[in-house]
Amino acid sequence: MLSILRTFCETGSIGPVSCGMSLAHVQDLIGPFDHRQEPPSAHCLHIWQDLELLVDTGTGLVVQVGLLAGGWGELRLPAALGGVFGTPEMGPSVDAVLRALDKAGVTWSEAPEQVVGDEARVVRVEETGVLLHFHPYEGKGCPHGDAGLLALHCATRSA
């Protein structure tokens, strides 16, 4: 899972999927979405397992690409994007993710203005603007205690 997160942070893309693409093109590449949520705005969230795309309803273009890693480190993507990464038993800690970014030469900084809730931690990748939201897992038996990388959300927006 660390490799796909690192690549996402470096490029702002998940495989061939990136901001600015049309929803139709994304569906041609990875198939139809599993679920769609329509918030009360001009955007609509389309979901393929743990891949989330926010689409401008007026233009049909992707304005945000996001990953939502629920569970203990398992990231489920459509088969066209590689399938399942990691295992549900042991996800990487926040420190492991940040060390992997450092090792790859990815520059990041704390982004406290993006924190929603008292216990979250958010970092911003300088080159791409990708935000990584780390939330503590409150379930039983968390392998990392309070430092668990569980319920990670990272996203990038188009300009």
- Helices 2-11 and 94-103 cross at an angle (nearest 10°) of 60
Residue-wise pLDDT for 3-47, tens only, equals 888 888 888 888 899 888 999 999 999 999 999 986 667 888 899
- Count of the separate structural domains present in the chain: 1
**Domain interval for residue 135:** 2-157
What is the token pair recorded at 112?
Answer: 């406290």
Kindly indicate the confidence band of residue 117, based on its pLDDT and cuts at 50, 70 and 90.
low
Cα 59 to Cα 66: distance, rounded to the nearest angstrom: 19
Q: Closest Cα to residue 89, out of 22, 57, 130, 137?
A: 137
